[in-house]
Amino acid sequence: MSGKGDVFLGSTAYPGKPKGLLDAVSEIQQYYVVERSGSTIPDDFLTFGGKLAFFEVGFKSGFVSGLIAACLTPFAIGVIEKYIPIFGSTDPSLFDRIFAFVLALSFSAGYAFFFAHLGKYYIGGISTAAIRNLISGVIAGALLKMLMAFIGFHFAYFVLLEPDRLAGWLLKLQWLAKYDALNATYQWLLDFRPVLLISAYFVVFTTLFTLAVPLAGIFLVSRKMKRLMEQEATWK
């Protein structure tokens, strides 16, 4: 490439069709470098298939990371409420509770701050389109996870762990364990049952929060980058 003008981006794989998150971010960085240099990438370079690929990568990232966090949430709240032992103790310290809380949020929070960094590349037409499709996928995946977790936790609370139904299921296991053990399990599950409702609403809150972080980050960082570019343009 020499000077400014239209450019053609080549790739050893399929341009605009990332297979994973790192591929997607790498392509966005390439678009950014070319567009920041003043060159033009044709609008139709990012095809419908390419946009769908960015959306798919974002969807998988938002869904999988959120699903892992949702599965860890009842355990984290169980530790905080002293139903589940951590580090061999049923009386967790403040550090233990914070550790359990961070463990439940680590995946979603990590992805949220990672995506927030993309605001640096939210400049040119193709870069912006790629980021929008990627983030749209993240939002769709996270909201689907939130809905599934919310329904799943309520289903477990009202159906699976309904006292009479739970007792019937445990009585069928008398051939496998003694009555005292089954009764202790029954009492523990009934005590633990409210954690599921807390987890359902906690997942809703954390999902909305972890979606707000990248959206706010992209907005703020992109505005900062545009101001810097405008200043650079006035100096030239």
Q: Is residue 214 situated within a structural domain?
A: yes
Q: At 152, list the tokens.
A: 């799943």
Asked whether residue 153 is assigned to any structural domain, the reply reads: yes
* Residues 224/121, Cβ–Cβ less than 8 Å: no
pTM tops 0.75, yes or no: yes
- Number of domains within the chain: 1
| DSSP code string of 31-68 | HHHHHHTT-B--GGGS-HHHHHHHHHHHHHHHHHHHHH
CA distances from 69 to 58, 92, 151, 156, 195 (A): 16, 21, 16, 17, 15
Which residue range(s) make up the domain with 203?
A: 21-235
pLDDT: which is higher, 19 or 159: 159
Is residue 16, in this structure, part of any structural domain at all?
Answer: no
Query: Environment class of residue 149 by beta-carbon count within 10 Å: exposed (0-12), middle (13-18) or buried (19+)?
Result: buried
Query: Does residue 223 sit within a domain?
Result: yes
Q: Assess if residue 2 is contained within a domain.
A: no
* SS3 at position 86: strand
- 87 belongs to a structural domain: yes
Please say if the pLDDT value at position 26 is more than 50. Answer: yes
Distance of CA 83 to the CA centre of its chain: 27
Q: Which residues contact 166 (CB under 8 A, 6 or more apart)?
A: 160, 186, 189, 190
pLDDT band, residue 157 (cuts 50/70/90): very high
* pLDDT confidence bin for 192, thresholds 50/70/90: very high
What is the distance between the alpha carbons of residues 196 and 77, in angstroms, rounded to a whole number? 9
pLDDT of 13: 44
Q: How far is CA 184 from the centre of its chain?
A: 36
Domain for residue 7, yes or no? no
Q: Is residue 224 part of a domain?
A: yes
| Percentage of the chain exceeding pLDDT 90 | 33
CA-to-CA separations, 9 to 28, 32, 45, in angstroms, rounded = 12, 12, 9
Q: Which residues of 64-80 are buried (b: 16+ CB within 10 A; e: fewer)?
A: ebbbebbebbbbbbbbb
Mean pLDDT, the chain, whole residue set: 84
Is the pLDDT at 112 greater than 90? The verdict is: no
Average confidence (pLDDT) over 170-188: 89
